Structure 1
Amino acid sequence: MTVPVFCGIVPPHILEHLVAHAEDDAVREAAERSLALDALNRVHRAEAPSTPEGIVRERVLDTAERTVCDDHHTQRLPGRVVRTEGAAPVPDQTVDRAYDGLGATFDFYLAAYARHSIDGRGLPLDATVHYGQRYDNAFWNGERMIFGDGDGTLFNDFTVSVDVIGHELTHGVTQYSAGLDYQDQSGALNESVSDVFGSLVKQYSLKQTADQADWLIGAGLLAPGVHGVALRSMKAPGTAYDDPNLGQDPQPATMAGYVDTSDDNGGVHLNSGIPNHAFYLAATAIGGFAWEKTGQIWYDVLTGGTLPASADFATFAAATVAAAGARYGAAEVAAVRDAWVQVGVVAPA
């Protein structure tokens, strides 16, 4: 198993824009520190040993095994244990939100796809909160979730959005299943899959149908006064924010706007808007709870064992069309195929 590269929920282009254009010196300094920490964690991830495979547990439980640690604004992981599985809530709401978000993600994967934790074998879910000083990010480091507190001016505490927690833990699901290369279109698919299932974690928690969901990633993460609603929109990529400090959301919704760049591993956080929008279109066309049929199709592809790690959009599209046909009928196949066509990715007839 390859070690996944660093993939924080806040993409580098946002932090880089803040460094160059933030009106507040403290915000700019927080963004600079966050970029530096991201770079450090990227190096640590590349040097880390692969996550062990073949772990055998005597009994896989249908309940999460959670541990939340407090790093007290340092970078000395894992920090001090402050809440364990089954313990009562604590006075620190950040701790409790992390605990609840880990549980919501575990419950979603178990109920929707009979998956026991992110590795499918009951992997304990660990998290560290209060990481770094005004750290503007959250990420899965291959072993645990790590949350910054945000700068308090543009970004709120990174535990406030359950879809952010679901997004990052889904990088772990991908790590243990398809292992999509974090580069170019396969990297954009890696990011998109995390957005898809992060959104579904929220939708499942709220019991929302596809037409009721907001399809936003990181709603509530932007502080009051910021001109924006979230980090990304699956319904309308490119519209999540337009703010003097953050800049304008640059995500394309279709291949017509595909960004050819060497930055951010080939634009993985930008071009993920294209498969994100395809999922939204398929889910709303099929209707009902999106985690049931459309989510099941995407999950079958992600975990089926046949998706190449270097899969591009067309390969993934073809796989979802085939998966729709294998599990459902002509209507679902047509909805999935049409969704990809609408974003400019042609799947086979």
Structure 2
Amino acid sequence: MSSSKLPTQKTDSRGQNDKAFMRARNWWEIRAQKRNTELVIVNSILQTEVAERRRAEQSAGQRARTLESLFDTMLSMVASLDSQDALVSRILAGAGSAISPAECGALHLIEPETGVLELKGLVDYRDTGLTETAASGATHLALRAINEGKPFLVSDPLRISKRQGKNPRAQKTRLCGAMVAPVKTEDQVALGVLSLFSSTRLAFTGEHLQTLESLAAAAAIAIQTARRYAQAQQLSITDPLTSAFNRRGFFDVGSREIERAHRFRRPLSLIMIDMDRFKEVNDRYGHAAGDEVLCETAHRLQRNIRVVDLLCRYGGEEFAILLPETTLSTGRL
């Protein structure tokens, strides 16, 4: 009887082994699947970290290039002794170079004599036709910047005037974003406003606004320097008593007129004026009275000559008038 049960026992033992093998196999498959899932997660995390690091490096590189461009622009502006018109072009070109999303730039300046805010420069960086649109939108934003005294972003589309709305090119390139910064001295005295525009909504960021603010600060220094230089140049060629040209200014400007007359063979006349008995005025009434006589003489001469004519206080009581495009016979009149 015992010998007849052996095949059954062997069969049960083989079945148990098969079940144990299947359980072990399932366990290893589950473990391997779990491991693969963990590896996929880790790989995804690593790829994300690598992508973020690359973006950070690209952003840092872009920021470094922006700062380098900003530094070069600011150094160029501050070191420049250009005329105001040339300086305006330099400021706008530098702003467009330092802030890449900008498609159009505008610079308003307050006239020192009148206190009126005037548009001095308007540049289309990409030939997109935004200048016509920006011309109307820039002024009211500039006035707002002067009143608020701080930079700001405009993310909503700007209103377009009826005149620009009829322009087919302007309709395709509407202003959708702007960035504005007042140009102020260290004493917070407003000199003007620097503005940038884009046809893309949300093109400008807070970082761009900080860059524009730095450019506006450099522009303020450059504008002050240029104006002081121009004043110094004007003073160096102006007689302080009569406000006419002094001899140096007369020779500088007059030599160019003489050269032009020779080159184009145009007439040019010169009038020399010597005040008689002027010494008697000083001796009898004093030098203060003599100064008044000189000033009044210069003012009367200035009122009776053309804008293109050059009036000079040549000596103590001597005056000279250079008359471009004037023959000798006409000059005698």
TM-score by length of 2: 0.20
| TM-score normalised over the length of structure 1 | 0.19
Point out the structure with the larger helix share. 2
| Bigger relative CO (Cα 8 Å, ≥ 6 apart) | 1
- 1 or 2, which has the higher strand percentage? 2
